[in-house]
Chains A and B, each alone.
Chain A
């Protein structure tokens, strides 16, 4: 049959040719990105480098893992069919699962991290995002998803307990709670920094709360279950809220009421978080979630369009002098802090919770796991690339004016311009004033946390893509609104989830505390969880270094710790399947993450530099106190003692995270040793093979 062999051969040659070209284009673009010196390179190079690498990795590496490690089999029954209940376990089309999974994993993380890491220049960020995702993040999500599918949709915590042991399981459980607390605190801080002294932003965000409640009432009482109608109404109202914010900002007498300090905003957020955790979900959480999912997908698409149309040149140099650790945005040198700062987008442990949560219960065919697990993470990584582009398209002067703390810049545009000139970048006070006016704010100085600088970047892109700078202020506040919207969605849902976790842990101490429908227990546990993240938020708001400086690294460390847990579980599962020769697939990213997390944590604890090390900072404060003077930015003796206390607390949290890494790694190593040396039987813990019932009808 020569005639059937020839087209087949021709197709194979064509395929080899196309993939060689894609690989070549990616390699050329990466080379251009890495070696370009002197002039401003176009964002197009970053996009090509990222997209080609993703395509090659998806086509070859994810296929390799799918066939060699798991031998994914469409004839095999998945939990969505075996346990089908029409509620949690529902066989679902792969593209719907993909959308659902992406909407669940993509939050503010991939937007904020790359923006902060831009202080090193664009090169470290782009390389880590691209390489990290294809060998780390996407692998983690994919492997955990497959493992959970083969185990009836078990959660990461359950798998850690059953595959490794009770010690690892319990450590993972407590670590997840710790991560939630730090995550919510740092995200709340980002919102506070975006809204302080901004009546426009504050009014717009405040209005999203009654809008969500209105949608909730609509879906519950007026037209029960009409989610899309309610969302459409909500989206229109969001647009009106944006205009209402501008209306308020233009009237000084009313605007004064909504011009709030960081402290006031922090207290309001705590009240909001508490309320969201106590009131019924249909009233606030669910409608907010739907709205935020639409806005999220819409804005990610719009950002991609904006970048593709404008293809902005990158103003930031590939590497800045701050790779030595003297940067103003956050303390610490390129290694290890670039890899801690950018977690989501490269590798994010949190995703392992989603990949072992709702998603595995929806997967219809095993092969769908590849596009959902590996594919969705590639898209999230692309979001991180776009955030990096938006930050690096700003001139470095503007970028540092927005992202450096007040302690480094002073409080006027003159002092800021002088400080920035000292770092070797040029921006005039007049430019900074004009930019603030253009986006409708009184000042953009020291709005740390990443959201405002991303919003400025997006506003520039959108107004250039659509022509005319008149709408820049509207675009800026639109970007702030969307970031705050989905940060608050993480904050309120996270507080509620944290409350349930706390009740679950607490019932071992006092049984009634675990009763989720008993009001006193609900109020007490909600208050406790809000106090926990509220404490870190309060500390961040009052920190003269801007708070993000100490909180974001803690968040990064905790997120990478969770990734280490996930990769330990993944490695153990691969070895139990008798495929230890493929263990390096998860062992290599694990080794890197442990190296990065341990060294970053160690530096945060023991660095002699007060800007970096928690203990050194406490010592600096105490020395100043015994010398009878107050360090800059500290107002009284009691604040000083409070700050010392916070340093010790931060140190304790960091130490706990490091200890958790060691415990889980040691416990896993014990199991690996047993499996490799024959002390433990190599036996797969998967649910045995059963054929799909619907296969006949396929």
Chain B
């Protein structure tokens, strides 16, 4: 079982890495930021955050190249 749970942890880490490399919105990072720096505000939901992050990604040159 420990073998398996270690495998799960590794896969989860690899997944997080892949998500961040391709530039997918990182909700967990956002949540932990809000928890640490603005503990009294209500964070966006996962869906709201994703929508907002995507809209901003395609507004300026600087995320895409030739």
Contacts and interface: CB of A to CB of B under 8 A. Distances in A.
A87 B56 CA distance: 10
Contacts of A494: 64
B20 A176 contact: no
Nearest to A102: B21
5 contacts: A86-B34, A103-B21, A104-B65, A344-B66, A357-B61
B63 A293 contact: no
Contacts of B34: 86
A571 interface: no
B58 A493 contact: yes
B56 A293 contact: no
Most chain A CB within a 10 A radius of its CB, from B49, B56, B58: B58
Contacts of A84: 33, 37
| Contact-residue size bin, chain B (C-beta under 8 Å from the other chain) | 35 or more
A84 B30 CA distance: 10
Contacts of A90: 26, 29, 33
Contacts of A282: 50-51, 54
Nearest to A153: B62
Contact of A358 (B15, B51, B63): B63
A106 interface: yes
Given A96-B21, A227-B19, A282-B50, A351 B61 contact: no
A100 interface: yes
Interface string A168-197: 000000001000100100010000000000
A183 B37 CA distance: 42
Interface of B: 15, 17-27, 29-34, 37, 46-47, 49-66
Interface in A475-503: 489-490, 493-494, 496-497, 500-501
Interface residues of A, number: 59
A584 interface: no
Given A86-B34, A282-B51, A559 B66 contact: yes
Interface string A552-582: 0001000100000000000000000000000
B30 A225 contact: no
Nearest to A177: B61
Interface stretch (A241-249, A284-292, A407-415): A284-292
A96 B20 contact: yes
A674 interface: no
B63 to A, nearest CB: 5
A11 B27 CA distance: 45
A442 B10 CA distance: 48
B62 A357 contact: yes
Most chain B CB within a 10 A radius of its CB, from A87, A180, A559: A87
A220 B50 CA distance: 9
Given A96-B17, A225-B50, A494-B64, 16 more contacts: A85-B33, A86-B34, A100-B22, A107-B64, A107-B66, A155-B62, A180-B61, A187-B66, A228-B18, A290-B23, A293-B23, A353-B65, A354-B65, A490-B65, A496-B58, A497-B60
Interface of A: 84-88, 90, 92, 96, 99-100, 103-109, 155, 176, 180, 183, 187, 219-220, 224-225, 227-228, 231, 281-282, 285-286, 289-290, 293-294, 297, 343-344, 348, 350-351, 353-354, 356-358, 489-490, 493-494, 496-497, 500-501, 516, 555, 559
Contacts of A500: 58-60
Contacts of B59: 497, 500, 516
Nearest to A113: B66
A213 to B, nearest CB: 15
A353 B49 CA distance: 25
Contacts of A350: 65-66
A357 B63 contact: yes
Contact of A100 (B21, B25, B49, B64): B21
Contacts of B37: 84, 86
A104 B63 contact: yes
Contacts of A155: 60, 62
A292 to B, nearest CB: 9
Given A86-B30, A281-B54, A99 B21 contact: yes
Contacts of B19: 227-228
Contacts of A96: 17, 20-21
B29 A107 contact: no
A358 B30 CA distance: 16
B10 to A, nearest CB: 14
B30 A87 contact: yes
Contacts of A104: 23, 63-65
A225 B46 contact: yes
Contacts of A344: 65-66
A690 B9 CA distance: 36
Contacts of A228: 15, 18-19
Nearest to B58: A496
B22 A227 contact: yes
B66 A103 contact: no
B28 to A, nearest CB: 10
A86 B29 contact: yes
Contacts of B66: 107-109, 183, 187, 343-344, 348, 350, 490, 555, 559
A286 B54 contact: yes
9 nearest A-B pairs in the assembled complex, by CB-CB distance: A357-B62, A86-B33, A99-B21, A86-B30, A109-B66, A293-B22, A227-B24, A281-B54, A493-B64
